[in-house]
Structure 1
Amino acid sequence: MIERADAGAIADWLAERLAGAGTITIPGGSTPFPIIEALLERHGESIDWAGIEIWPNDDRIVPEDHQASNTGRIRALLEPCGARIVALAEGAAPPHFTLAWLGMGPDGHIASLFPNTDPQIDDPLAVRRLTPDPLPAHAPFDRITLTIPALADTDTLMFTLGGGADKRAVFEAALRGAHDLPVARILRAARARQVPVTVFT
């Protein structure tokens, strides 16, 4: 784990991984957007955005111009730089990712793979539409999400935890195999594929 990394430090790490063309998947929520803004401020002109394709991990089923749309926020920041933004759709076939950047909720969910959805490491689908239960009060919408096999099909897995000690405890328990929440399942899938994992706390 990389301790107490601020948005600038994470942006610098990302810039090194984005030096060449590639395909990445990035999370929504509150944590990633200050990091993306720092990335653009510090390295925006040195990255070949035209060679980068970006998929959201997941999205709320709302129009892209809705304030709750992950895709809309990602597109507004990175499409003007020349990156190609791919909105999730049922039946889509995601590529192998150069980098899969994930967040994690305090309940151990990743993307929109909440505990109630019972995400499977061998899910035959790469993209699923589903309904969290309970619906988060701040975003009470059905979701579309990449599944564990799609997220684990990557050269590198990166987590930005945020949220302090509680989230860290959930993540560390997942590393130890002390529970079977979605974050533990993606970590098992990454180990099985020998995917390196970097965690920013």
Structure 2
Amino acid sequence: MSEIERLTFDDQNELHAALADEMRRAIASGREKRGSALLALSGGSSPFPIYRSLAEEDLGWADVTIIPVDERLVPENDKLSNTAKLREVFEPAGARVLGLFPDPETDPLPPSALDVVDLPADLLWLGMGGDGHFASVFPGPDYERAFATEDDTVFVNPFPMPAGAPVGRLSISPRAIADSRRLILVIAGRDKRAVFDRALAEGTASPYPMGRFLEELQPTMTVYEGLF
């Protein structure tokens, strides 16, 4: 069975403080054990206040590499780029931020993240949509391949395409996500909590990708639930 620890917060500041501590511990652990830390971080608006606050702290950022959990297939100068948003926050602090694939607008082409660093990540920060998707693992034409691949990344095309970002994606694969040294899932609101509860109960029979992930790959994961 999956080893799931669930932590519930009624106060946003307390949730943010706990998540900041997760990142501090992951950085300290990676630096102590291997001389450097690798963080795989989610995009979206919710985590960025935490990211910005931590970027102002002296955490040894020069020893930290950051990659996105998933990326839209757009150049980094596109507003949809997760890599660009992470660069904006963490590169001034001294961290190295790498995209999952080369930016086609750059000459010469930079290497992709996993040509430079090796998974597993010291911390992988996962989010979940209201449809139960995680990273860029959506139901659709590439759903079965995403779960079957032994590769660390997988190209996926959501179906239907999200209206706000109608592009293909490259995602860290479900297997590689489950293999993270430390895996956290952050969900906000009672509606998403209900989706997670259903996914956990139904497993592979669930229409939600999260359900299949939990039963099929048996991750060890801490779930941070914000109910404010």
TM-score, normalization by structure 1: 0.85
Distance in 1 (alpha carbons) for counterparts of 2:17 and 2:79: 25
Asked if residue 86 in structure 1 is aligned to residue 93 in structure 2, the reply is no
Distance in 2 (alpha carbons) for counterparts of 1:185 and 1:104: 13
Distance in 2 (alpha carbons) for counterparts of 1:197 and 1:118: 24
Corresponding residue for residue 124 of structure 2: 100
Q: Secondary structure at the match of 1:2?
A: strand
Corresponding residue for residue 106 of structure 2: none
- Letter matched to residue 14 of structure 1: M
Higher mean Cα deviation, 176-185 or 147-156?
176-185
Percent sequence identity over matched residues?
35
| Residue 131 of structure 1, aligned match among 157, 166, 176 | 157
Unaligned segments of structure 1, at least 5 residues: none
Cα displacement string for residues 126-151 of structure 1 (whole angstroms, at most 9, x for unaligned residues) = 21222111111111221111111111
Task: Give how far 1:49 is off.
Answer: 1.1
Task: Report 1:11-26 matches (<5 A).
Answer: 11-20=20-29, 21=31, 22-26=37-41
Task: Give how far 1:53 is off.
Answer: 1.5
Change (3 A) 1:185 1:89: farther
How many corresponding residue pairs? 195
- Letter matched to residue 212 of structure 2: R
Higher mean Cα deviation, 64-73 or 6-15?
6-15
Unaligned segments of structure 2, at least 5 residues: 1-5, 32-36, 103-111
Alpha carbons 1:61, 1:142 under 8 Å: kept: yes
Corresponding residue for residue 7 of structure 2: 2
Q: Secondary structure at the match of 1:80?
A: coil
Change (3 A) 1:23 1:153: same
Task: Give how far 1:85 is off.
Answer: 1.3
CA radius of gyration, larger in: 2
Asked if residue 30 in structure 1 is aligned to residue 75 in structure 2, the reply is no
| Residue 209 of structure 2, aligned match among 182, 185, 200 | 182
Q: Secondary structure at the match of 1:115?
A: coil
TM-score, normalization by structure 2: 0.76
RMSD: 2.2
Corresponding residue for residue 175 of structure 2: 149
Task: Give how far 1:124 is off.
Answer: 2.3
